[in-house]
């Protein structure tokens, strides 16, 4: 059993990754979380659901991960007083998730330290909750201002810089409140939720197939990871395994997404330290990857290429040759560019020491993904819980311990080369012929499934609950940005304001992925 | 430094030819004088506003700056403030939480100005909005106002999820070209 606790009875879920689910009582929530935390495990996601139509109240769901796999626990809450014990005192990262769950569903944590709203601004009343099944949008509408209480820093010479939601560059909207003395940053407080589009509510009116398209648009830069995680969750409920060819193609798509995003970020990191040469060079390479995607698979970002049951795009033999040539080109060029970055004194001067997250703090905050690995947090779903075909690929994890911008750049370079190696390996093993998908029209009734995929930014989780007719009752997509955004508030401490864009870019987190 | 210069010389010039304007993208009659458009056409400043997109359209707007599309080579520049801008490039269905920011950005942009809506969501609300109840397909929900035209006036729309950089460039060039009589 992944977690040893006398009151815990887990059932293993069918599917691609080791995952379990179980029901617990309110009094067991904190001890179990403590148990997982002390064993080195982490909180992946926290969400709620309205189960009143099934004659229950509400439910709180949490997804935990430890060395054995993913554990999804559910806690029934009475409809009258849907409160649950606070998790954020054990996993600090739960803070924003608990607040968002209250804004959307009206279930709340007892004894929590921070009861401010998170995803709600002023578009609907504080007393109405969009994810309740009886939510009526018309009477809930308001046009109130946000009125969010930022923590104020006082003292001689302290002043605030308010940035956003509309930023100076081509960036998603969000608000950053800096408290500074001179150039030095004393505190950063983030305010998000600007791109809240009601994605979770939208899923509830969709078919399984429409849902796959929406999952691919939770955060556009991670479309492959989301589509795969969604498909994995659906396939877990239906207890089916896609054809082998489809699995190899999914891995190919996921690595290509990682390659494209790492190339783009490495270019922008050069640009942010005034080496526009880096932007020009890396974005030429990125454009070639995108053009090959468009020509071979019909979409530059591979949107809608993964569907529940398999894939919707194939690779021909000439296409394979194109990708082998692309691998050679990228390996050769990126090696030259890495040399230039490493030997450029100005670049290294800005990279080294900026935005540092020490490994201890990273562990405390539950930092994940590439930012986590740059601070010694050795988690990579492809390595620890390799779903097919990663179980045959022996992925080498890139880790580094300095936790600064330079470390995140090194991890990106290492992962880029590893993804190119994986792409070669996948192409070599991808045999011609074979089915691309199996029919998966509808899911069994009252099922639950979870999919977890290591996207380029970190682990993407999608949880799917079906209703008594097998329709989507609740879909919760979880972005690794939930884990990593709070860390940016720590990373900037003691740095100067002009280094914020660089530090922020070195994480490159998603706004839409956490705003939902 | 030797490696850097060698790499620049080896790379050469990658830029593709720019697309021609397409009248079909224009949703309103041309509002600005031809002379103004002529000036815009040779030095255009753009302010981008993400009003609620999934960041897919942003990826392609970034691509416009790469060496293949070389948007700055056409005299078109992305600027940091709406007060410096001639055109707003707006993406996403407009989330209700972004309505005020989008309106203020529009108001802060000096006249004469142009608005180009980028992507399926900006054109009709896209996948985030149900288009069932709306008579003209604007798409709204508890969290979203749907298409950009529901909040501010739009001159040109570019569909696609996301539209290619060439399509976005074509939309921009259409907005600054004179309408054929």
* Contacts of residue A184, Cβ cutoff 8 Å, sequence gap at least 6: A494, A495, A496, A497
**DSSP tally for chain B: helices H, then strands E:** 6, 5
Helix axes A405-429, A500-507, angle to 10 degrees: 30
Domain residue spans in chain B? 32-115+157-181
- Secondary structure (3-state) at A231: helix
Q: What integer is the mean pLDDT of A274-280?
A: 94
Residues of chain B in contact with residue A166, where contact means CB-CB under 8 angstroms, are 49, 82, 101, 105
DSSP string, A69-108: EEEEEEEEE-SSS-EEE--TTT-TTHHHHHHHHHHHH--E
Average pLDDT of chain A, as a whole number = 94
Task: Assess whether pLDDT exceeds 80 at residue B37.
Answer: no
Determine the Cα–Cα distance for residues A45 and A63; give it in Å rounded to an integer: 5
Phi-psi region of B55 (alpha: psi -120 to 50; beta: other; left: phi over 0): left
Say what the ipTM of the complex is. 0.93
Cβ atoms of A265 and A508 closer than 8 Å: yes
| Alpha helices, DSSP H, located in A93-179 | 94-105, 137-140
Determine the Cα–Cα distance for residues A64 and A470; give it in Å rounded to an integer: 26
Q: How far is CA A377 from the centre of its chain?
A: 16
Q: Do B56 and A303 touch (CB under 8 A)?
A: yes
A409-458 pLDDT per residue, tens: 999 999 999 999 999 999 999 887 889 999 998 999 999 999 999 999 99
Please report, for residues A153, A390, A442, the alpha-carbon distance to residue A416 in angstroms, rounded to integers and kept in the order given. Answer: 41, 16, 37
DSSP string, A252-291: HHHHHHHHHHHHHHHHHHHHHTT-HHHHHHHHHHHHHHHH
Q: Report the alpha-carbon angle A298-A434-A382, nearest 5.
A: 70
* Contacts of residue A430, Cβ cutoff 8 Å, sequence gap at least 6: A245, A248, A249, A252, A315, A320
Q: Do B143 and A123 touch (CB under 8 A)?
A: yes
Closest chain A residue to B51 measured between Cα atoms? A195
Q: What integer is the mean pLDDT of A483-497?
A: 95
* CA-CA-CA-CA dihedral for A136, A139, A142, A147, to nearest 10: -70
Residues of chain A in contact with residue B92, where contact means CB-CB under 8 angstroms, are 195, 197
**Of A303, A287, A92, which Cα lies nearest the Cα of A213?**
A303
Q: Is the CB of residue A169 less than 8 Å away from at least one CB of chain B?
A: yes
Smallest CA–CA distance, residue A254 to chain B, in Å, is: 16
Q: Do A170 and B48 touch (CB under 8 A)?
A: yes
Phi-psi region of B13 (alpha: psi -120 to 50; beta: other; left: phi over 0): beta
Please state which of the four CATH numbers 3.40.50.12280, 3.40.50.300, 3.90.1150.10, 1.20.1260.10 is assigned to the domain occupying B32-115+157-181: 3.40.50.12280
Pairing of the two strands A19-24 and A11-12: antiparallel
Task: Assess whether pLDDT exceeds 60 at residue B133.
Answer: no
In chain A, residues 129-158 whose CB comes closer than 8 Å to chain B: 130, 135, 137, 140-141, 143, 145-146
Average pLDDT of chain B, as a whole number = 87
Residues of chain B in contact with residue A213, where contact means CB-CB under 8 angstroms, are 127
Q: Do A195 and B61 touch (CB under 8 A)?
A: no
Q: Do B52 and A197 touch (CB under 8 A)?
A: yes
Cβ atoms of A43 and A264 closer than 8 Å: no
Smallest CA–CA distance, residue B18 to chain A, in Å, is: 16
Task: Assess whether pLDDT exceeds 80 at residue A223.
Answer: yes
pLDDT of residue A291: 97
pLDDT of residue B179: 61
Percentage above 70 pLDDT, chain A: 100
Q: Do B142 and A137 touch (CB under 8 A)?
A: yes
Task: Assess whether pLDDT exceeds 80 at residue A102.
Answer: yes
Task: Assess whether pLDDT exceeds 90 at residue B138.
Answer: no
pLDDT of residue B136: 45
**Residue A430 class from Cβ within 10 Å (0-12 exposed, 13-18 middle, 19+ buried)?**
buried
Task: Assess whether pLDDT exceeds 60 at residue B172.
Answer: yes
Query: Closest to A336 (Cβ–Cβ): which among B7, B92, B164?
Result: B7
Cβ atoms of B65 and B77 closer than 8 Å: no
Residue B134 — pLDDT band, cuts 50, 70, 90? Answer: very low
pLDDT of residue B121: 92
């Amino acid at each position: 059993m992944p977690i040893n606790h006398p009151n815990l009875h887990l059932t293993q879920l069918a599917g691609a990754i080791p995952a379990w689910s179980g029901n617990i009582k309110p009094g067991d929530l904190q001890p179990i979380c403590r148990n997982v935390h002390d064993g080195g495990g982490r909180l992946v996601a926290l969400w709620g659901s309205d189960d009143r139509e099934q004659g229950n109240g509400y439910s709180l769901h949490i997804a935990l991960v430890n060395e054995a796999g993913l554990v999804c626990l559910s806690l029934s809450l009475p409809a009258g007083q849907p409160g649950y014990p606070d998790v954020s005192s054990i996993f600090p990262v739960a803070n924003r998730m608990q607040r968002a769950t209250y804004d959307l569903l009206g279930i709340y944590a007892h004894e929590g330290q921070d009861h401010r709203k998170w995803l709600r601004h002023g578009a609907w009343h504080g007393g109405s909750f969009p994810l309740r099944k009886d939510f009526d949008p018309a009477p809930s509408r308001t046009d109130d201002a946000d009125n969010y209480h930022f923590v104020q820093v006082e003292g001689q010479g302290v002043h605030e810089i308010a940035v956003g939601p509309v930023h100076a560059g081509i960036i998603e909207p969000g608000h950053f409140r800096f408290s500074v003395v001179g150039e030095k940053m004393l505190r950063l407080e983030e305010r998000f939720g600007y791109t809240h589009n009601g994605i979770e509510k939208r899923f509830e009116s969709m078919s399984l197939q429409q849902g796959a398209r929406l999952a691919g648009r939770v955060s556009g830069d991670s479309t492959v990871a989301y589509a795969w995680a969604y498909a994995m969750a659906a396939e877990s409920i239906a207890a089916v395994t896609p054809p082998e060819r489809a699995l190899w193609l999914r891995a190919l798509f996921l690595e290509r997404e990682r390659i494209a995003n790492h190339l783009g970020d490495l270019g922008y990191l050069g640009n942010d330290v005034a080496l526009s040469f880096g932007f020009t060079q890396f974005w030429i390479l990125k454009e070639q990857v995108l053009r090959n995607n468009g020509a071979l698979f019909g979409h530059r970002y591979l949107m809608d290429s993964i569907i529940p049951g398999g894939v919707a795009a194939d690779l021909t033999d000439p296409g394979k040759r194109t990708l082998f040539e692309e691998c050679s080109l990228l390996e050769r060029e990126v090696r030259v560019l890495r040399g230039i970055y490493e030997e450029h004194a100005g670049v290294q001067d800005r990279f080294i020491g900026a935005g540092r997250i020490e490994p201890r703090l990273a562990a405390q905050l539950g930092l994940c993904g590439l930012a986590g690995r740059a601070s010694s947090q050795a988690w990579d779903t492809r390595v620890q819980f390799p779903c097919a075909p990663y179980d045959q690929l022996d992925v080498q994890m890139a880790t580094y311990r300095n936790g600064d911008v330079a470390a995140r750049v090194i991890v990106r370079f290492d992962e880029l080369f590893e993804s190119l190696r994986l792409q070669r390996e996948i192409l070599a093993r991808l045999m011609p012929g074979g089915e691309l998908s199996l029919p998966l029209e509808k899911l069994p009734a009252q099922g639950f499934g979870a999919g977890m995929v290591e996207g380029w930014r970190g682990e993407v989780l999608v949880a799917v609950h079906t209703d008594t007719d097998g329709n989507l009752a609740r879909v919760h997509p979880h972005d690794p940005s939930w884990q990593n955004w709070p860390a940016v508030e720590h990373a900037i401490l003691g740095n100067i304001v002009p280094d914020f864009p660089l530090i922020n870019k070195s994480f490159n987190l998603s706004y839409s992925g956490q705003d939902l | 430094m030797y490696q850097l210069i060698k790499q620049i010389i080896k790379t050469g010039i990658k830029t593709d030819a720019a697309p021609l304007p397409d009248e079909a993208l224009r949703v309103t009659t041309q509002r600005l004088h031809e002379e103004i458009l002529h000036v815009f056409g040779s030095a255009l400043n753009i302010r981008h506003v993400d009003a609620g997109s999934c960041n897919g359209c942003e990826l392609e707007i970034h691509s416009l700056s790469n060496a293949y599309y070389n948007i700055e080579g056409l005299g078109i520049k992305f600027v940091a403030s709406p007060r410096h801008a001639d055109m707003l490039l707006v993406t996403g269905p407009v989330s209700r939480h972004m309505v005020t920011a989008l309106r203020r950005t529009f108001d802060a942009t000096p006249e004469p100005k142009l608005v180009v809506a980028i992507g399926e969501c900006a054109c009709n609300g896209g996948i985030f909005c149900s288009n069932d109840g709306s008579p003209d397909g604007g798409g709204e929900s508890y969290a979203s106002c749907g298409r950009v035209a529901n909040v501010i006036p739009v001159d040109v729309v570019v569909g696609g999820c996301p539209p290619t950089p060439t399509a976005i460039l074509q939309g921009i060039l259409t907005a600054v070209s004179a309408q054929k009589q």
